[in-house]
Chain A
């Protein structure tokens, strides 16, 4: 039983999109913490 091309494509794209979003989320939270004086 092997993984199909479409399943592999979906798996990788989902993970890739999630990984693209994470630096943006971290930067957004950083700016929010700095503005709210909650960085440290």
Chain B
């Protein structure tokens, strides 16, 4: 056991306390859910504070708290700056959220929009991309839960993974989106306060002069502003982040759930408040060499520095922060993916005239099914899943332009939107294998843009926006 690890009993006590609090609160919030709108969209009237906090908390994943220090440790200053560029996804989604709410006041999912705007072919492409991404992210979060909680404590991989899944499935099942959003609020406060305390102690203990002098002597590349791979990572991360947010039902379902006029303000505010967090979580990695720390793997640099600075309290801090970061993303993903499966698969393909009660029941079964499915796959501990998520950049970036043009440009047709997604993904994957992970999203986004522009130039169609409201 190393100095950044918690004992088994302490870790179990924290998990049980969190579990009881979250599941109990989820039940309390969900006791008045009567319709599918109450359950899946929190009654479509979420206020500004909850809306902003949930957007922030969902975007702070385990990656933000562990991979930001890792990237800083590997790519230096560009690593933390590149990671913080993912905030652009939230900021640019702000006007789209408003437009989505205006065009589809009764919409449920991103699939609803694509189906009504582009028809079946583009919808099929989009749903394949969305479900692959959502399930890949869900499984990787389950695995990250097991791996991280077992690396930060004496718990086994299976115990950590099972605990985080049971807790998240429990409160999402009982409380629906309302429980997800309310717990996200508390989690966002916990995460930000935790990382700020660690960063202040780091500055107080090590200091910028010592950190800079040690890095200049021992790892000067981390201070280099002309580090080519790091600069490519910086730009790739912008497109990856935008693609992840623009296509994912996690963000669309929130656009439908936020009260009228709230979506644009809250996404913009959440993006601006999220922007500095990766720098705060990432920069502590620059103190590693000043503290004479050599992490066993790069992703452990954050916990090691925190534990060295704060002692055993640091280990508790990191455990709680990582748990909150994992739970705030996993609950959102469970809720959004179950909505997508309920509305786009169950309702559209199998039971078009399903009642609200039937959909509500189906949604709850799907949450349980997703939890069990995730557990079964994550239990295999496939090491390749981490790599799998890396090339989802090629998939999600291909959806950026079909969504943007779909919302604002009436001339793009479903055939070209579908082709843009297929061609973008294919070329992005070729770039991923031929060049590297850091170009997949850029290539995919570029090819998709070219396809969409060609489609618009030669189109004679003109989509009438009011058709969306009528169909919705």
Cβ of B45 < 8 Å from any Cβ of A?
yes
- Asked if B208 contacts A23 (CB within 8 A), the reply is no
Residues 1-40 of chain A, each 1 if its beta carbon lies under 8 Å from chain B, else 0: 1110100110110111011101101110110110000111
Query: Nearest Cβ distance between residue A12 and chain B, in whole angstroms?
Result: 5
Query: Nearest Cβ distance between residue B295 and chain A, in whole angstroms?
Result: 21
Query: Nearest Cβ distance between residue A33 and chain B, in whole angstroms?
Result: 4
Which one of B16-24, B47-55, B240-248, B344-352 is at the interface?
B47-55
Task: Kindly report which residue of chain A lies nearest to residue B197, judged by CB atoms.
Answer: A20
- Asked if A2 contacts B276 (CB within 8 A), the reply is no
- Asked if B273 contacts A33 (CB within 8 A), the reply is no
- Asked if B49 contacts A26 (CB within 8 A), the reply is yes
Does more than half of chain A's interface fall in helix, strand or loop, or is it mixed? helix
- Asked if B49 contacts A16 (CB within 8 A), the reply is no
Cβ of B196 < 8 Å from any Cβ of A?
yes
A15 cross-chain contacts in B, Cβ below 8 A? 84, 275-277, 279-280, 283
Cβ of B264 < 8 Å from any Cβ of A?
no
- Asked if A33 contacts B192 (CB within 8 A), the reply is no
B50 cross-chain contacts in A, Cβ below 8 A? 30, 33, 39-40
A2 cross-chain contacts in B, Cβ below 8 A? 216, 220, 223-225
The contact of A18 among B189, B212, B276, by CB within 8 Å, is B276
Task: Kindly report which residue of chain B lies nearest to residue A25, judged by CB atoms.
Answer: B273
A5 cross-chain contacts in B, Cβ below 8 A? 208-209, 212
Cβ of B119 < 8 Å from any Cβ of A?
no
Does more than half of chain B's interface fall in helix, strand or loop, or is it mixed? helix
A33 cross-chain contacts in B, Cβ below 8 A? 47-50
B211 cross-chain contacts in A, Cβ below 8 A? 8
CA distance A11 to B56 in the complex (A): 21
Query: Nearest Cβ distance between residue A34 and chain B, in whole angstroms?
Result: 8
A to B contact number (C-beta, < 8 Å): 96
Cβ of B400 < 8 Å from any Cβ of A?
no
Cβ of B462 < 8 Å from any Cβ of A?
no
- Asked if A3 contacts B223 (CB within 8 A), the reply is yes
- Given A14-B276, A16-B199, is A29 in contact with B52 using a C-beta cutoff of 8 Å? yes
- Given A18-B273, A25-B273, is A8 in contact with B188 using a C-beta cutoff of 8 Å? no
A29 cross-chain contacts in B, Cβ below 8 A? 48-49, 52
Task: Kindly report which residue of chain B lies nearest to residue A30, judged by CB atoms.
Answer: B49
- Given A26-B185, A40-B46, is A19 in contact with B280 using a C-beta cutoff of 8 Å? yes
Query: Nearest Cβ distance between residue B181 and chain A, in whole angstroms?
Result: 9
- Given A1-B225, A8-B212, is A16 in contact with B273 using a C-beta cutoff of 8 Å? no
Task: Kindly report which residue of chain A lies nearest to residue B193, judged by CB atoms.
Answer: A23
Cβ of B77 < 8 Å from any Cβ of A?
yes
A12 cross-chain contacts in B, Cβ below 8 A? 199, 203, 208, 279-280, 283
B200 cross-chain contacts in A, Cβ below 8 A? 16
Cβ of B259 < 8 Å from any Cβ of A?
yes
Cβ of B226 < 8 Å from any Cβ of A?
yes
- Asked if B47 contacts A39 (CB within 8 A), the reply is yes
CA distance A5 to B223 in the complex (A): 9
CA distance A40 to B33 in the complex (A): 13
- Asked if B196 contacts A30 (CB within 8 A), the reply is no
- Asked if A3 contacts B77 (CB within 8 A), the reply is yes
The contact of A40 among B45, B273, B280, by CB within 8 Å, is B45
B277 cross-chain contacts in A, Cβ below 8 A? 15, 19
- Given A9-B208, A18-B276, A26-B185, is A1 in contact with B77 using a C-beta cutoff of 8 Å? no
The contact of B280 among A3, A16, A23, by CB within 8 Å, is A16
The contact of B49 among A1, A20, A32, by CB within 8 Å, is A32
Cβ of B367 < 8 Å from any Cβ of A?
no
A14 cross-chain contacts in B, Cβ below 8 A? 276
Residues 351-376 of chain B, each 1 if its beta carbon lies under 8 Å from chain A, else 0: 00000000000000000000000000
- Asked if A3 contacts B208 (CB within 8 A), the reply is no
B193 cross-chain contacts in A, Cβ below 8 A? 23
Q: A2-B220, A15-B277, A25-B273 are in contact. List 14 more A-B contacts (CB 8 A).
A: A1-B224, A1-B225, A2-B223, A3-B225, A12-B280, A14-B276, A15-B276, A15-B283, A18-B273, A19-B199, A20-B196, A29-B48, A38-B47, A40-B47
Q: Sample 28 A-B pairs with CB under 8 A, ordered by A number.
A: A1-B225, A2-B225, A5-B209, A8-B212, A11-B77, A12-B283, A15-B275, A15-B280, A15-B283, A16-B200, A16-B280, A19-B195, A19-B276, A22-B56, A23-B192, A23-B193, A26-B52, A26-B53, A26-B56, A26-B273, A30-B49, A30-B53, A32-B49, A33-B50, A39-B49, A40-B43, A40-B47, A40-B178
